[in-house]
């Protein structure tokens, strides 16, 4: 690639949404930012979703990513949790409406980052640390997940047959 490429990965959750911003340059990948969007349980759900939307939109405005990766909602044993995660994902999709978005299941993230779809969370975190040449594993886990998602996007667009095709 001739220019820098910036991606944001979001790990959606109603209480905590993790994010990671990664830049790819000729010298390799580097972490630009990482953090969490937290919403208080005492607030109405609509307000919490609006906060996720606004903060994600502000991150997109600040870092001007070339693409966004958002973790797909997967079947969970707790339907209530899955529903709220899906709602948070919807708020993130709205915030990223103007740029390419790719969705990744947890299995796809594990496979892309570690090469093994049944990798443990700690194995994924260790590879994120290694791939991004970080001195420590990103904390909390939601940040590491956001960085892993951003890396998935970059791996897709730079790998064999890579493209900017949007996958939802």
Task: Residue count of the chain, please give it.
Answer: 168
Closest CA to 20 of 166, 164, 137: 137
| Residue 129 near residue 137 (C-beta atoms within 8 A) | yes
Instruction: Report the distance separating Cα 89 and Cα 103, nearest Å.
Output: 10
Instruction: Report the distance separating Cα 112 and Cα 149, nearest Å.
Output: 9
- List residues with catalytic annotation: 11, 71, 142
Token digits of residue 75: 């079947």
Strand 5-11 versus strand 67-71 pairing type: parallel
Strand order in the sheet with 67-71: 28-38, 16-25, 5-11, 67-71, 101-104
């Amino acid at each position: 690639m001739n220019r820098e490429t910036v991606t944001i990965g979001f790990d959606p959750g109603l209480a905590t949404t993790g994010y990671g911003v990664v830049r790819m340059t000729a010298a390799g990948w580097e972490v630009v930012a990482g953090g969490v969007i937290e919403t208080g349980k005492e607030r109405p759900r609509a307000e919490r979703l609006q906060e996720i939307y606004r903060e994600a939109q502000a991150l997109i405005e600040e870092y001007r990513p070339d693409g966004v990766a958002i973790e797909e909602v997967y079947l969970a044993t707790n339907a209530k949790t899955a529903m709220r995660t899906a709602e948070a994902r919807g708020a993130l999709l709205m915030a990223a409406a103007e740029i390419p978005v790719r969705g990744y299941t947890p299995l796809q993230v594990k496979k892309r980052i570690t090469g093994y779809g049944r990798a443990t969370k700690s194995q994924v975190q260790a590879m994120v640390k290694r791939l991004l040449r970080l001195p420590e594993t990103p904390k909390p886990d939601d940040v590491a997940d956001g960085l892993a998602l951003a890396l998935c996007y970059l791996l897709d667009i730079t790998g064999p047959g890579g493209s900017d095709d949007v996958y939802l």
